[in-house]
Structure 1
């Protein structure tokens, strides 16, 4: 039942246009979701460093606006570019870190601001990714503090839940009644069948759909 509620929280693809627009700023970044290897059972451990053995969440946050996040298979430019160019207005300013996957796609927008975290640079004028990193902090605290862990099959729906909470927070003037009404309205036209809820192949369906639209 909880996953059906999360499915309702996620906006239908036809309900949202591109984020940003002329004079607006959108931040893009990725993070890894998953426990520390040393805390896993031996049969579930993965060798390697960084994101090995973890799931990837990619998010776009419009400053002063909403977030939209995706469960993606990797962070290559080939994977992320179709999401970025279909989900952000080309009239926007794009803000990212110095990662190579953003280098070329940034030229497709009105401006591309970058910060180099590798040398300890986190803000340079209007360029920073503090907003999207703040969202990731909320996401990870919520997962660890409330759910402890999430599986690959369900990560997409947890992202939908946290996107909904962020986009309907009190800070943007939405009260509890309005938030509840929005969640109920989201059930219209949606149905999550039992056999879908545990399919790992369904986990990245939204991101895959965006990729398909861009091709």
Structure 2
């Protein structure tokens, strides 16, 4: 994958955009998405009814473009606008709102909203390599997102209830000097946390958490378990801390409050995919904006775009 600068024609010219996506999706040559035949069995198609970018597979006798089998399939949005949307979302540390995307791409809000969610799906890593390993540290912590419940108090009016019972619960794993993985959970019981932690963290890792009781049993399964006591004002003890995962939460919360502002529980996991992706492909790991964008584009393969009809007839 070759990263490109924002001034590159791929963000404004349709043919350049298509060729760029082809180079990312098919680095070894054009491959049929129907049967998997490569190179020699593929020939370009040209005709009055077809624009550039059509191919014909001599094996399965079917035609295709680079859009097929991706988030762009059946989308009427030009590919260069898709690429610009990828770049804006991949390079904006705290996210890029659908309203701003609508203005920048000159499309409707509904189209921008839909494009953003499909890009988040492209950013999702549904089968990540396990975190940690010998002499490596994985930090685990939970946070809460969403509005608090309100209640009416005589003489004071409507007041927010204290506590986090009504908020959405998120558990994040951060490999120190590496990647992040966040999961929306229904509760913070040991049983639930085991389902999140054990499949994603190698057991010979060092696990760092806070003093919460639900981590104690889990910590016994790892090579080492270090817990810092936040309730006593302890945030670091030697190499033991959860400062990296707390830093991840700080970026996530500033993005959700300052950029996105509103997020339904239904879509929360998609936003987590987005923030995980940018953190796992950050500058500190040697990944600049252009390369990060290329990695996100590569994730679009195999993730079909589907439509839900709305009153206006547009996809949402």
TM-score for both structures, normalised by structure 2:
0.57
The secondary structure found in structure 2 opposite 1:113 is strand
> Residue deviations 1:92-127, cap 9 Å, x none?
000000101100010000000001111111111221
The question of 1:50 aligning with 2:163 is answered yes
- Whether the aligned pair in 2 keeps the contact of 1:46 and 1:52 (CA below 8 Å) is no
- Whether the aligned pair in 2 keeps the contact of 1:46 and 1:53 (CA below 8 Å) is no
User: Which residue number in structure 1 is paired with residue 129 of structure 2?
Assistant: 17
User: Which residue number in structure 1 is paired with residue 296 of structure 2?
Assistant: 183
User: Which residue number in structure 2 is paired with residue 142 of structure 1?
Assistant: 255
CA drift at 1:11: 1.1
The secondary structure found in structure 1 opposite 2:198 is helix
Quick one: structure 1 residues 48 and 36, their matched pair in 2 at CA, closer, same or farther if it must change by over 3 Å?
closer
- Whether the aligned pair in 2 keeps the contact of 1:21 and 1:90 (CA below 8 Å) is yes
CA drift at 1:52: 2.1
List aligned pairs for 1:1-215, cutoff 5 A: 1-13=115-127, 16-37=128-149, 49-191=162-304, 193-194=306-307
- Whether the aligned pair in 1 keeps the contact of 2:211 and 2:227 (CA below 8 Å) is yes
- Whether the aligned pair in 1 keeps the contact of 2:171 and 2:184 (CA below 8 Å) is yes
- Whether the aligned pair in 1 keeps the contact of 2:148 and 2:166 (CA below 8 Å) is no
Size of the aligned set, in residue pairs, is: 188
CA RMSD in angstroms comes to: 1.9
- Whether the aligned pair in 1 keeps the contact of 2:150 and 2:160 (CA below 8 Å) is no
CA drift at 1:192: 5.2
User: Which segment drifts farther, 112-121 or 186-195?
Assistant: 186-195
- Whether the aligned pair in 2 keeps the contact of 1:7 and 1:192 (CA below 8 Å) is no
Q: Relative contact order (C-alpha < 8 Å, sep 6+): which is higher?
A: 1
Question: Structure 1 stretches of 5 or more lacking a match?
Answer: 40-44, 196-215
The secondary structure found in structure 2 opposite 1:52 is coil
CA drift at 1:151: 0.7
The secondary structure found in structure 2 opposite 1:153 is helix
C-alpha distance in structure 2 between counterparts of 1:194 and 1:57, whole Å? 29
Higher fraction of strand: 2
C-alpha distance in structure 2 between counterparts of 1:74 and 1:161, whole Å? 22
C-alpha distance in structure 2 between counterparts of 1:75 and 1:176, whole Å? 35
CA drift at 1:48: 5.3
- Whether the aligned pair in 1 keeps the contact of 2:208 and 2:240 (CA below 8 Å) is yes
- Whether the aligned pair in 2 keeps the contact of 1:27 and 1:63 (CA below 8 Å) is yes
C-alpha distance in structure 2 between counterparts of 1:174 and 1:150, whole Å? 28
CA drift at 1:193: 3.4
Larger Rg: 2
C-alpha distance in structure 1 between counterparts of 2:143 and 2:251, whole Å? 12
Quick one: structure 1 residues 186 and 36, their matched pair in 2 at CA, closer, same or farther if it must change by over 3 Å?
same
